[in-house]
Chain A
């Protein structure tokens, strides 16, 4: 069965620090998709990235980067030079072929960036 674990419940950093949010997943499928979503204090859910299981290339988008490692079943998210506006809850999610591509979320990591 598919499962996503975000062991870090809450992280607090000072502005301009780098921070990494961990995501570990479980799946028996070879075909699956991994996602990160952001939920700012306003409450809406915002898509950040999608990665399929056949593409292990790391991705960088501005201050955001993602490290996908199938060997450790991890899909970690790093924010470089964090800003106060990065304060939010971040969710990692998994969708696998064997479960009809239902999207299952981890419990989320609350990131607080202090000025």
Chain B
């Protein structure tokens, strides 16, 4: 199906475990983004990528790792999950940077116990 898909949609894990959230888009958009949404903070940018093999930090990158070996995929890894990383994570893509309209995935709700 065309669009941007995130998986898993829901995940419960324990402190210290590694978790990877997947994001896949079918438009061949150059730019991809990861945001986290927390009450009172809105959406905060974690990492973004301008193209395959090009990534850069956002507002809250600590504790997260990203990679972009293929244009269509942009996985987000929490190497050692902490309770403070309990959040809803949104992936987004855009034809060219944040100056253009972002299309968002449905979100991944992560709970770290």
Chain A residues at the B interface, C-beta cutoff of 8 Å: 6, 9, 33, 35, 43-45, 47, 50, 91, 93, 95, 97, 100-108
Q: List 21 A-B contacts (CB under 8 A).
A: A6-B42, A35-B101, A43-B106, A44-B107, A45-B43, A45-B90, A45-B102, A47-B101, A47-B102, A47-B103, A50-B100, A50-B101, A97-B99, A100-B50, A100-B56, A101-B97, A101-B99, A102-B45, A102-B58, A105-B35, A107-B41
Contact with A along B76-113 (1 / 0, CB 8 A): 00000000000010101000011111111011000000
With known contacts A33-B99, A50-B101, A101-B99, A43–B42 Cβ distance under 8 A: no
Q: Are B42 and A101 in contact (CB under 8 A)?
A: no
Contacting residues, chain B, for A6 (C-beta < 8 A): 42
Task: Check if A107 sits within 8 Å of B40, measured CB to CB.
Answer: yes
B106 touches A105 (CB 8 A): no
Query: With the chains together, A9 CA to B107 CA distance in Å?
Result: 22
Question: Which residue of the partner chain A has the closest CB to B58?
Answer: A102
Query: Is B42's CB under 8 angstroms from A108's CB?
Result: yes
Q: How long is the Cα–Cα vector from A106 to B107 in the complex, in angstroms?
A: 18
Chain B contact patch, size range:
20 to 34
CA A35 – CA B98 in complex, angstroms?
10
A105 touches B42 (CB 8 A): yes
Given contacts A103-B98, A107-B41, 10 further A-B contacts (CB under 8 A): A33-B98, A43-B88, A45-B102, A47-B103, A50-B100, A93-B43, A95-B97, A103-B33, A104-B45, A105-B35
B102: shortest Cβ distance to chain A, in Å?
6
Using CB atoms, name the residue of chain A closest to B35: A105
Known interface pairs A91-B43, A95-B97; A103-B56 also in contact (CB < 8 Å): no
Q: How far is the CA of A91 from the CA of B35 in the complex (A)?
A: 13
Give the CA-CA distance A101 to B101 in the complex, in Å: 11
Cα distance A104–B27 in the bound complex, in angstroms:
23
Q: Are B42 and A107 in contact (CB under 8 A)?
A: yes
B62 in contact (CB, < 8 A):
no
- Complex Cα distance, B107 from A45, in Å, reads 9
A17 to B52, CA, bound (A): 48
| A9–B102 alpha-carbon span in the complex (Å) | 23
